[in-house]
Structure 1
Amino acid sequence: MITIQASLSFDSNEDKQEVLDIMRRWSSCTRFAYNRLLEGKSRNELKRELQEIFSLNSRYVDDAIMKAKSVLESCKERGENPGKVIFGGRSLFEKLKKQHINGNAYKKLQHEWQERRKGNLYSRGDKSKKGNLNTRIEIDEYGTRLRINVGERKYAYARIQAGWKKGKSREELLEAISTCGQPYSVELKLKNGKVYAYFTIEENFPEVAITKESGIVGIDINAYPDHIAWSETDENGNLASYGRVPMPELTSGNSNKREYYRWRYAHEVVRLAEEKKKAIAIERLDIREKGKRGDFSGRKSRRIRHSFSYRSLLEKIKVLAKRKGIQVIEVNPAYTSVIGMLKYAPQYMISKDVAAAYVIARRGLGLKEQIPEGYMAILKELDADELEELKEHVKRTVKNKQLKKRQLKEIDEAIKLIQSLGSEPGRGPRPLDGTSLGTCGSGHNLWRVLKVAVVTPLSPERVLRDVSVLKGVLHSGQVGRPG
């Protein structure tokens, strides 16, 4: 989808007032429809009733019902109570309830909340009408303008002040949209007394020409330090090349500046894949606890991820890749950093982030990771008593409370898993399927145990930075134990 934002300048104050009136009625219609949907009424039952109550045509009413239904479904998907939805914004509503806000500050908040609650209008595009019947873009000798249906065969007109977007006139883009004959949706919003329009048209992507058959570029995005790590594989999953794209601009600056740089870095990633003629593998976007993979967890990681706009950057990579006909594969991100650090970082002497990108690329090819023989030897000899000793060592030596708490939790989880598998000498767990995580009994979480058994003894007081120390462990199967 392509969305273009523009402000509207009305030919007359009368036209503006008529548009504000229909925005108010449409917003009320949406709220009314939402409450009736909660009561179990259907679209067909509501349609004629809403037309009579709010004096809106059938298209506007259909769009209001659709919006109300989308809010209801979204609320249910998030597991929230649909009966507690507040149109206009809960945060603003809660501020208005506070007793200490009064005078001009209260009036300002109240005005903003009323605009959000009542200043909305949405009109879907219609292919049979070659665009949009209720809110149509028109072109004359003075430029582009928006014709808004405000009643039975009655229209209000507003000039579209679109500005510029990525070196191209937004007005030129709107002219192209208005003449292409494709349906486009228009949404009007009232902000600080001014009406803004959002034009959205569905983008037609070319057929996929670059696929994983020739290999993959795996992408690992890191909030700290802020960079993109990438690894290129051939069609068999062998490491071909790797690198990093620094992104210092994403940790500061206003939202517009960060948005610009997100697009810029996404272009760099896609250009890299296009030059190498390789598909792109990224982490699946539904990950919940990205803070647990890497150096940070908890509140600090949440703050970093919020400003870092991880999801937004991946979405831009997906869109740009589709425009270039490049296949994008989303993989399960679980344990990519752990596997990369333990297996591939010491093997190829690359950074943990590049190694994680390599694991992502291999998962994109459908390859499964096996635990190396050296590490298997450690797991075979490991027992719960040994982990209990490690736990006591961490309690004595680690001063950082947050790090100590995390390490003790990891050790406790490892002890439970070892006990569930049985700790008799010679009993070897099954090889790990690196692309699917199962229950403890299946042996699919042994990378977590391996991390505790190998990394924690080597670096109990800090996060392991130098992965070269793992190279000897990888080949010998021997790791230093705490005294």
Structure 2
Amino acid sequence: MIVIQAKLIFLNQEDKQRALDLMRRWSSCMRFAYKRLLEGYDRKTLKRDLQGMFDLNSRYVDDAIMKARSTLESARELGNNPKKVIFGGRDLFKKLQKHHINGKAYERLKIRWQEKRKGNLYSRGDKSKKGNLNTRIEIKENGTFLRINVGERKYVYAKIEAGYKKNKRREELLQEITKSDIPYSVELKLKNGSIYAYFAVEEEYPEIKITKEKGVIGIDINAYPDNISWAEVDEEGNLTSYGSIPMPELASGSKEKREYYRWQYAHEIIKIAKEKGKAIVIEKLDIKDKGKKGDFSGRKSRRIRHSFSYKSLLSKIKTLAKREGIEVIEVDPSYTSIIGMLKYAPQYMITKDTAAAYVIARRGLGKEEKIPDNYMKFLNALTVEELEELKEHVKKTVRNKKLKKKHLKEIKKAIEFLQSLESEPGRVLKPLGGTSFSTHDFWRVLKAAVVIPLSPEKVPRDFSVLKELLIQGKWGDP
């Protein structure tokens, strides 16, 4: 989806008022349709009744019903009560209810809330009508204009100015859209007394030609240090090559500069995929997921919010891949870093970031990660005394003030696990056998029991020390 924002400049104040009246009626129609949909009304009945009620044509009413339905479905998907949706914004509405806000500050808030509540209009494109019938872009000698249908055979015109400062490239894009007769949607919004238009065009992508048939390339984007780690695997999931792309430009600079470089880095990933002839596997992240506590406490969520726009970069990779006919596979990111650092970083002598990219690639092929036998043998070989000593060491680590908070939960899980082992003398453990832990919990426990005692203050970047334990099963050296 390509979206172009522009400011509308009306030829006279009367035309602007007619457009504002249309937006007010359409917004009221959409809110009314939302209430009726909650009561179980169907689209056909609503469409027939709303046209006369709000003096809107059939297309405007249909678009209002569509927007109302999407708002309703979105509320249900997010687990919110659809009956408590507040048009105009819940945050602004709550601020208006506060008694300590009055005078000019209150009036400014009220105007902002009313603009968001009443200053909207949405008009879908139509391929059969060569663009958009209700809100059509027209090219004239003195510029590019938006023709808005405000009633039966009644139109107002507004000059399209692409942003606060005139942007010729955006205006050229709008003219190209008009000349090509492709459908485009237009959304009008009222902000600070001005009307802005958002033109949206859906791209037509070529057929997918590069698939996972010959293997994939896994992508792991890291906030610290800023880099993209990638790992190439064949169709069996074997590591064939790997590398990283540093991204120092994303650590600072203006918003426009960082956006430019995100596109450049996305192009580099696509170039690698095209050269290798392999699909791309990325982590499926959703910032709407607030974590178990609902406070965005998850490690991935913090990484998204406190570093560069992680999701934006992944979105650009997906967009460019679609344009090039490259398959993009999204996978669950859970524990990819832990599995990578414990299993593949020491095995292939690679960084934990590259190892995480390798796990992501294998997950894209549907490969499962089994816990190495020597890790299980290591835990089985521990005596009760050694388990007690290890548990005390872990408890001591918990009391270490220099320890990062994100490790505490893992360490406490490890203590719980070690206590369960102590109660089973003569046990023979299998992965998860006789325990209440999930596979992912086991990896987390293993990290706490093996990695953190080696480096309690921070996670090391070199895991070669684990190679003898993982490959040869050697342990016992203090």
Query: Is TM-score (shorter-chain normalized) higher than 0.5?
Result: yes
How far apart, in 2, do the equivalents of 1:391 and 1:80 lie? 43
The residue number in structure 2 matching 1:367 is 367
The residue number in structure 2 matching 1:434 is none
1:380–1:428 contact (8 Å) kept in structure 2: no
Q: Deviations over 1:265-288 (max 9, x none)?
A: 222222222233221111123588
Runs of at least 5 residues in structure 1 that lack an aligned partner in the other structure = 432-438
Say if 2:465 is the partner of 1:469. Answer: yes
CA-CA distance at 1:180 after TM superposition: 2.2
CA-CA distance at 1:87 after TM superposition: 0.8
How far apart, in 2, do the equivalents of 1:299 and 1:215 lie? 31
The residue number in structure 2 matching 1:177 is 177
The residue number in structure 2 matching 1:459 is 455
Q: Deviations over 1:8-54 (max 9, x none)?
A: 11122221111111011111111111112222222222222221221
Number of corresponding residues: 469
How far apart, in 1, do the equivalents of 2:419 and 2:332 lie? 24
The residue number in structure 1 matching 2:90 is 90
The residue number in structure 1 matching 2:430 is 428
User: Using a 3 Å threshold, how does the CA distance of structure 1 residues 12 and 244 change in structure 2: closer, same or farther?
Assistant: same
2:338–2:443 contact (8 Å) kept in structure 1: yes
How far apart, in 1, do the equivalents of 2:164 and 2:23 lie? 27
User: Using a 3 Å threshold, how does the CA distance of structure 1 residues 120 and 481 change in structure 2: closer, same or farther?
Assistant: farther
User: Using a 3 Å threshold, how does the CA distance of structure 1 residues 299 and 282 change in structure 2: closer, same or farther?
Assistant: closer
- SS where residue 155 of structure 1 aligns? strand
Say if 2:317 is the partner of 1:321. Answer: no
How far apart, in 2, do the equivalents of 1:299 and 1:233 lie? 29
How far apart, in 2, do the equivalents of 1:336 and 1:300 lie? 12
User: Using a 3 Å threshold, how does the CA distance of structure 1 residues 234 and 405 change in structure 2: closer, same or farther?
Assistant: closer
Q: Deviations over 1:49-91 (max 9, x none)?
A: 2212211111111111111111111001111111111111111
CA-CA distance at 1:258 after TM superposition: 3.8
Map 1:311-460; keep pairs closer than 5 Å: 311-381=311-381, 389-397=389-397, 398-400=399-401, 402=405, 405-412=408-415, 414-415=417-418, 424-429=426-431, 440=436, 445-460=441-456
How far apart, in 2, do the equivalents of 1:395 and 1:44 lie? 66
Amino acid aligned to 1:451? K
Amino acid aligned to 1:399? N
CA-CA distance at 1:251 after TM superposition: 4.5
The residue number in structure 2 matching 1:73 is 73
What TM-score do you get using the length of structure 1 for normalisation? Answer: 0.87
Say if 2:102 is the partner of 1:99. Answer: no
The residue number in structure 1 matching 2:37 is 37
User: Using a 3 Å threshold, how does the CA distance of structure 1 residues 346 and 364 change in structure 2: closer, same or farther?
Assistant: same
Q: Deviations over 1:181-205 (max 9, x none)?
A: 3221110111111111111111110
How far apart, in 2, do the equivalents of 1:359 and 1:457 lie? 24
1:88–1:113 contact (8 Å) kept in structure 2: yes
Amino acid aligned to 2:465? V
Amino acid aligned to 1:408? I
2:410–2:444 contact (8 Å) kept in structure 1: no
Say if 2:271 is the partner of 1:271. Answer: yes
2:206–2:322 contact (8 Å) kept in structure 1: yes
How far apart, in 2, do the equivalents of 1:242 and 1:199 lie? 40
2:221–2:229 contact (8 Å) kept in structure 1: yes
Q: Alignment identity in percent?
A: 65
Q: Which moved more, 1:47-56 or 1:235-244?
A: 235-244
Map 1:247-262; keep pairs closer than 5 Å: 247-253=247-253, 255-262=255-262
Say if 2:223 is the partner of 1:220. Answer: no
How big is the alpha-carbon RMSD for the aligned residues of Structure 1 and Structure 2?
3.1
- SS where residue 169 of structure 1 aligns? helix
Q: Which moved more, 1:271-280 or 1:85-94?
A: 271-280
CA-CA distance at 1:322 after TM superposition: 0.5
